[in-house]
Amino acid sequence: MSMTIALAGNPNCGKTTLFNELTGSKQHVGNWPGVTVDKKDGVYKKNKEVVILDLPGTYSLSPYSAEEIVARDYIVKEKPDAVINIVDGTSIERNLYLSLQVMETQIPMIIAMNMMDEVEARGDKIDCVKLSELLGVPVIPITARSGKGLKELMDAAIEVAKNHQKPTQNDLFDKELEDTIEAIADVLGGDNADESYWEAIKLVENDEVVGKTVPASKKDAVKALVDTANKNADGDAEAKIADYRYQYISKLVKQCVKKAHQGHVETKSDKLDKVLTNRFLALPIFAGVMYILFACVFSENFMFIEGLPSPGVWLAGIVETVWGAIQGGVVGAVEAAGASAWAVDLINSCMDGIGAVAGFLPLVLVLFLLMSFLEDSGYMARVAFVMDRIFRHFGLSGRSFIPMLMGFGCSVPALMAARTLESDKDRKITMMITPFMSCGAKLPIYAMFAATLFADHNQTSIIFSIYMLGIVVAIISALILNKFVFKSDTSNFIMELPTYRIPTLKSVLIHAWEKVKGFAVKAGTVIFASTVLIWFLSSFNFSGMCDMEESFLASIGNAIKWIFLPLGFADWRASVGVVTGWIAKENIVATFGQLFGGVSDEAIEAISAGEQALPAIGEVFNKVSAYSYMAFNLLCMPCFAAVGAIRREMGSLKWTLRAVGFQMLTAYIVALIVNTVGNLIF
């Protein structure tokens, strides 16, 4: 008989790491709160009848943000066969608050006491056997990152689910409050007494969501009892309930936890934070870290050693050589087989387009590996904390920077991460500005121009400046939107700073591989289909096969190129690139690869040799117009997949159109400024 086991816990407690270990899945694991924004399921790899569900992190069953609502609704409405509540053993007092609330739902439950390796490293001890006896639920010590204790955990969880073993009701509240809660449960009635009891507690806590479910015929009776509870609690029954829970947790910790040091002891994380979150040093350090990161990807002379290319450039050279050999072999074989000229041209053109994207795949891989390391180490959570000081002046909280940081990978999950924001204003503004971040698909565009037109300059600085431009424009846009469109108050920013950890190689590789795989899949599907379409449109007109300048594609490009004249790139090929980029941003490189005769080979050689390449692109663009083109594609409407994510998360076509319109207008204005000022200076 199949069963469903849900994983629930505080943000950053190790749920997704545990999920990956149990199911063999490769979900994104980040050392910051809010990584999981939707429920994900997988099959337990040691028992195909057991489905494991990874829920978004939540601090309590009184949700304040969209992803917390997802977690609570699943637990109380879908009722899984069992809940594994993951508790961070290094922060046991805070984590047990959710445990007590889940127990109140009377759903079979087991506690996974995670991070036991860190608990032991501190010299602390947690008596899980005694804690289990006092709570009335199994408590299993585990270390999810290493897999220690997971077999025992799942054996216990399956046993609890099979036996429908409900948690023991603990005496948390005084008799007066308990009697009121039971009286409300009696009024609610219903077939499920356990559910009525949980709903009664939530009503005393003034939970608006549960309050709306009370039948009209029972509202007056429930309200009278809730008023009585508030009166007996000096006007705030919710605070009294929370106080009783924390008193109970304090007793549990006192009996079951022995700490090596009493009081606060300065940890290594505390010492690092004195530097990395310093109000004067934090931002320069962040800028320096990002610059070093880009130097590792793009620099011609890695670590300032002449003739030693960065890892990204070195790998790109290998891919370029291999792809060139494959393309030559395929085209030669097709010609030898006697294929017609148009078939040879089609295959060669498509391979030019895909090769233009594939050639930059190593750069994307190295960038994501380094970004994954920073995320998993806990450093990026500090960046969000530091950015709060800046964002607060622009009407946002630092939590908005988390989706923006995720946007460096892909805009789609980044837009979904905006659910973690409590304020509707913050969510909307964040979704409107997150596509301004340079996602991985935009990176090949920058690398192509850097290799082609900036070969005699520091290419790392050019690409670094584009990434920084996205952040600066996003901040300024937030200020404009907050001042003229949204005028509500700035929401509070409360965020847990996780302990610094050395990321596991497995975690970093999984994270990077997922991003690169998505990039590669698009190259083999969406971009392949686009290259075929572009070949047809650039090779035919109504009279049949023709020169490119007389093709359907040239006609389309010439019809719209006047729009981009003030931006410095009024060429039909450049105009077509903007449009194909809306399908997928890396499509611009594939398009140029076809229209300019193969970008990848010469561009990557130029990166390695530091020489100017692709004279055809040089005839259309100069340095200023190339930077303007990069800026426009950085800021304009994102790919169709990201627009779809905006539509889903906004929940409104009107707001989606507003977001896209704002992005297009911003892109045009910034590119116009770049071109105008750039031509005045250079």
Mean pLDDT by 10 residues, the chain (682 residues): 88 85 68 56 89 86 73 86 93 90 91 92 91 93 91 94 87 85 84 74 85 86 88 85 90 90 73 87 87 77 66 76 83 86 82 72 79 81 79 75 78 77 82 91 86 74 91 91 74 66 77 71 74 86 86 92 92 91 85 69 43 60 94 93 87 91 96 95 86
DSSP 586: T
98 and 203 share a domain? no
344 and 493: one domain?
yes
- Whether residue 114 lies inside any domain: the answer is yes
Q: Which long-range contacts (CB under 8 A, 24 or more apart) does 614-620 make?
A: 614/452, 617/449, 617/452, 617/453, 617/592, 618/452, 618/453, 620/569, 620/571, 620/573, 620/574
SS3 103: helix
pLDDT the model gives residue 564? 94
Residue 679, H or E segment: helix 653-681
Residues 6+ apart with CB under 8 A from 134: 252, 255, 256
pLDDT of residue 71: 83
Distance CA 513, CA 511 (A): 6
Distance CA 467, CA 294 (A): 10
The CA distance from 209 to 201, in Å, is 13
Asked if the structure places residue 658 within a domain, the reply is no
Do 232 and 313 lie in one domain? The reply is no
The CATH number assigned to the domain holding 70 equals 3.40.50.300
Cα-based distances in Å from 460 to 70, 297, 299, 317, 468 = 42, 8, 6, 17, 12
**Measured between alpha carbons, how far is 88 from 117 in angstroms, rounded to an integer?**
11
Residue 361: its H or E element: helix 361-377
CA Rg value for the chain = 29
The domain in which residue 90 lies consists of 3-162
136 SS3 class? coil
Q: Residue 54's beta-bridge partner residues?
A: 7, 40
**93 found inside a domain:** yes
Unique residue bearing structure tokens 């017609």: 340
Alpha carbon distance 37, 411 (integer Å): 14
Residue 640 lies in a domain: no
Kindly state whether residue 625 falls inside one of the protein's structural domains.
no
Nearest Cα residue to 603 out of 670, 595, 638, 611? 611
For residue 404, is it within any domain? yes
459 and 410 in one domain?
yes
Of the candidates 367, 355, 374, the residue with the CA atom closest to the CA atom of residue 313: 367
C-alpha span between 536 and 349 (Å, rounded): 10
Shared domain check, 128 and 80:
yes
Same domain, 354 and 235: no
In the numeric block, which tokens belong to residue 233?
């609690």
Q: Are residues 14 and 97 in the same domain?
A: yes
Q: Are 143 and 180 contained in the same domain?
A: no
Angstrom CA distances, 488 to 55, 258, 394, 420, 425, stand at 31, 46, 12, 18, 7
Q: Are residues 476 and 591 in the same domain?
A: yes
Domain end call among 258, 279, 296:
258
Alpha helices in 636-652 (DSSP H): 640-650
249 and 351 fall within a common domain: no
Question: Is residue 213 within 8 Å of residue 205, measured between CB atoms?
Answer: no
Claim to verify: residue 227 and residue 143 sit in the same structural domain: no
Asked if residue 155 lies in contact with residue 23, where contact means CB atoms within 8 angstroms, the answer is no
Nearest residue to 29 via CA among 376, 439, 373:
376
Token digits of residue 663:
């992005």
Please check whether residue 281 lies inside any domain of the structure: no
Q: Of 559, 593, 610, which residue is a domain's last?
A: 610
Total of domains in the chain: 3
Output phi, psi for 375, to 5 deg.
-65, -50
Domain match, 234 and 309 both:
no
Question: The tokens of 248 are what?
Answer: 């109970």
Copy the structure tokens of residue 101: 């609330």
Structure tokens at 303: 């670590």
Say if CB 41 and CB 51 are below 8 A apart. yes
> Which residues make Cβ contacts (< 8 Å) with residue 10, sequence separation at least 6?
57, 58, 59, 86, 88, 91, 94, 95, 98, 496
Distances in Å between the Cα of 37 and the Cα atoms of 34, 54, 439, 478, 615 are 6, 10, 19, 23, 46
Pick from 162, 197, 215: which residue ends a domain? 162
* Residues belonging to the chain: 682
Per DSSP, helices labelled H in 205-236 are: 208-211, 216-232
CA 520, CA 190: separation in Å to the nearest integer? 53
Q: Report whether 314 contacts 491 (CB < 8 A).
A: no
Judge whether 188 lies within some domain: yes
Confidence at residue 457, expressed as pLDDT on a 0 to 100 scale: 61
Q: Decide if 498 contacts 31 (C-beta within 8 A).
A: yes
**CATH number for the domain harbouring residue 222:** 1.10.287.1770
